Amino acid sequence: MTSFSYAANPVRVVFGSLRALGEEADRLGLGRVLLVAGSRFGDRAADALGSRLAARFAGAAMHTPVDVTERALKVVAEHGADGVVAVGGGSATGLAKAIALRTGLPQLVVPTTYAGSELTSVLGETADGRKTTQRTPKVRPETVLYDVGLTLGLPVSTSAASGLNALAHAVEARYAPDANPMTDLLAAEAVRLLTGALPRIAADPSDVDARTDALRGAWLAGTCLDAVQMGLHHRLCHHLGGKFGLPHAETHAVLLPYVMAHQGLSDAADVFELAASLPIPHSLGELGLTEADIAGEPEAELLRQALDGTRPASPPSLKALTKQVTDSFAGAPDRVRELLTDLVETLHGYAIRTDLTQDEWEYAIGFLTRAGHITTDTRQEFILLSDTLGVSSVVDVLTNSRTPDTTPSAVLGPFYVDGPPETPQGANLAEGLPGTPLEADIRVTNTDDEPVADAVVDVWQSNEDGFYDVQLPDLDGPVLRARFRTDAGGRLRFRSIVPSAYPIPADGPVGQMLDAVGRHPFRAPHVHFMIAKPGYRTLITQLFVAGGEYLGSDTVFGVKDGLIVDFTEQPDRTRRLEFTFRISGSGA
């Protein structure tokens, strides 16, 4: 079974009448409302709000320009508004969301088109000709009130374009990598309602039943979009809309069948025919774009088809391909099948969601190949990759967080060597090496604070310059690396030097990755410990120097608060480390 998660949309949805606006405002505790509405329904909304109305703003604009939001915020401040009521299409909804993002004010939205965005935690804003999109619960409205009567006078062309925009929300949820059985049901019903309603609205704009189906379809489409990640369709529409000032709904309507075909959806041709039958623009050319505009744009071939409005060509179904691969694991053991199925679905979803190109995939393969070539017994590039992507820390938490009464664990790191030399208590791991002397007095106990005798404790660390012995081929034998056994009282004493912050090896593919994203390669100063004894869970961990560098930006995300320890300065400038490790029985 493929794992998934689903959180129900928390928006209160009311199908009723605009006359209920005041009652719904009272439910939210609103007493001084900013009404975002144009002239068409603004007066009726103001009447319904009555004395709750503090101010009106009629300047909402397509793609939610930031300068318009700033003007509206001044009105909010001047009138002490405690909530926002938006009545209109996507522009009004977008402005209400932008205000809520910056003020935290509750929203009551009354859609008059079939946008569906009123149900989502998504906000797209435009500044300097560039549209950026973010997803945050801060912009999700508290209440949405649907009044079918407000859509009866909506022109057929606007109805069709906004209906196809809503349909795009449902379609995108079908191929989202995080789709689940609930979003599949919502999307299927939304598609059924919208594809059935739009031709009936075109034939008879006064058909209340058709208008009702379209509004319900938009509601369901917005709900399922809120539960999944946005994909290629929205990225293209938001990019083109923000860059060229294209009309939002019409851009979605034009591109929808082409993106569906690109994603391998079998009903792309049906949606193309549906769009072709409706009185809307059918090509990017009709929206004003030219061949020169799309040259060099992402998915130029897809856009070129949409530029002319030609019938889209459909590649093989990507969902079918993914299923074919996962079905091939049917004979594997249960856990292997689960791991491989989820891995393939995640990888395929990633490729689809990011619209991965052949060049990008070949670069990724080359990156892994270079990591393999540089890996040796003493240079573990794949461990470095896992560490710097945080995967090692995720697995560490999943594996070891089930024993909260024990000392926190930490990543093993790439420089552990199995079977270090067994060393007597009190030995100096740093004999002859420069650095600030360190005296360590360690105890190992169980979760009842009883000493654990004869536990095997591996210790390893870098030298003062940040190198481990395995990185220095001229060294003779292990250095700053030893294996001890606790005494009858569970104690361990040794001497060393205070560890320094150091960079992980950055001369390979992992270092190139860190450079490319502007990250430093440094680890906070620490000493590694591995504690093992039959009957106990092995503890792999690190102790970090309190006050040391990079504690807040350790490049492998390995620092935990419970592992930051005082290396106390003594009168002779020696540092002293005292710490008690608590380990649990292997059945814990």
| DSSP states of 363-430 | HHHHHHHHHHHH--SS--HHHHHHHHTTHHHHHHHHHHTT-TTSPP-----TT--SSPPB--TT-BTT
Q: What is the DSSP letter of 283?
A: S
Give residue 267's pLDDT: 86
The answer on 525 and 481 residing in a single domain is yes
The answer on 289 and 341 residing in a single domain is no
> Is residue 360 a part of any domain in this protein?
no
- Find tokens 């870098």 and name the residue: 462
Q: What is the CATH number of the domain that holds 54?
A: 3.40.50.1970
Q: Which amino acid is at 195?
A: T
Can you tell me the distance from the alpha carbon of 56 to that of 59, in angstroms, rounded to the nearest whole number? 9
- Out of 106, 134, 151, pick the residue that ends a domain: 151
The answer on 268 and 139 residing in a single domain is no
3-state secondary structure of 6: coil
Q: What is the CATH number of the domain that holds 237?
A: 1.20.1090.10
Q: What is the CATH number of the domain that holds 564?
A: 2.60.130.10
Give residue 581's pLDDT: 97
Residue 374 gets the label, from left (phi > 0), alpha (psi -120 to 50) or beta, of alpha
The answer on 145 and 272 residing in a single domain is no
The answer on 433 and 407 residing in a single domain is yes
CB 22 within 8 A of CB 52: yes
Q: Are strands 575-582 and 437-445 parallel, antiparallel or unpaired?
A: parallel
The model's pLDDT over 196-249, given as tens digits with 9 standing for 90+, comes to: 999 999 999 999 999 999 999 999 999 988 888 878 888 888 888 888 989 988
Residue 440 gets the label, from left (phi > 0), alpha (psi -120 to 50) or beta, of beta
* Environment class of 125 (CB within 10 Å of its CB; exposed 0-12, middle 13-18, buried 19+): buried
The answer on 439 and 301 residing in a single domain is no
> Is residue 562 a part of any domain in this protein?
yes
Opening angle at CA 241, ends 186 and 250, nearest 5: 60
> Is residue 413 a part of any domain in this protein?
yes
Give residue 1's pLDDT: 45
The residues of the chain scoring below 70 in pLDDT are: 1-3, 314-317, 401-402, 587-588
**CA–CA distances in Å: residue 75 to residues 54, 127, 259:** 10, 20, 40
- Residue 276 in tokens: 């072709």
Q: Inter-axis angle of helices 248-262 and 268-276, to 10 degrees?
A: 150
The answer on 189 and 147 residing in a single domain is no
- Out of 118, 151, 184, pick the residue that ends a domain: 151
> Is residue 550 a part of any domain in this protein?
yes
The answer on 504 and 436 residing in a single domain is yes
The answer on 572 and 494 residing in a single domain is yes
Beta-bridged to residue 85, according to DSSP, are 35, 108
**CA–CA distances in Å: residue 380 to residues 83, 197, 325, 529:** 56, 60, 31, 19
The answer on 270 and 281 residing in a single domain is yes
> Is residue 385 a part of any domain in this protein?
no
The answer on 143 and 80 residing in a single domain is yes
> Is residue 263 a part of any domain in this protein?
yes
Can you tell me the distance from the alpha carbon of 225 to that of 532, in angstroms, rounded to the nearest whole number? 49
- Domain range holding 415? 391-582
Opening angle at CA 161, ends 160 and 163, nearest 5: 65
Given CA atoms 318, 322, 323, 325 in this order, what sign does their dihedral have?
positive
| Long-range contact set of residues 24-28: C-beta below 8 Å, sequence gap at least 24 | 24/108, 24/143, 24/145, 25/49, 25/52, 25/83, 25/85, 25/108, 26/52, 27/143, 28/83, 28/106, 28/108, 28/142, 28/143
The answer on 265 and 323 residing in a single domain is no
Three-state DSSP string of 535-585: CECCEEEEEEECCCCCCCCCCCCCCCHHHEECCEECCCCCEEEEEEEECCE
Give residue 316's pLDDT: 62
What is the tally of structural domains in the chain?
4
> Is residue 249 a part of any domain in this protein?
yes
Whole-model pTM: value is: 0.59
> Is residue 481 a part of any domain in this protein?
yes
- Out of 151, 167, 188, pick the residue that ends a domain: 151
Length of the chain: 588
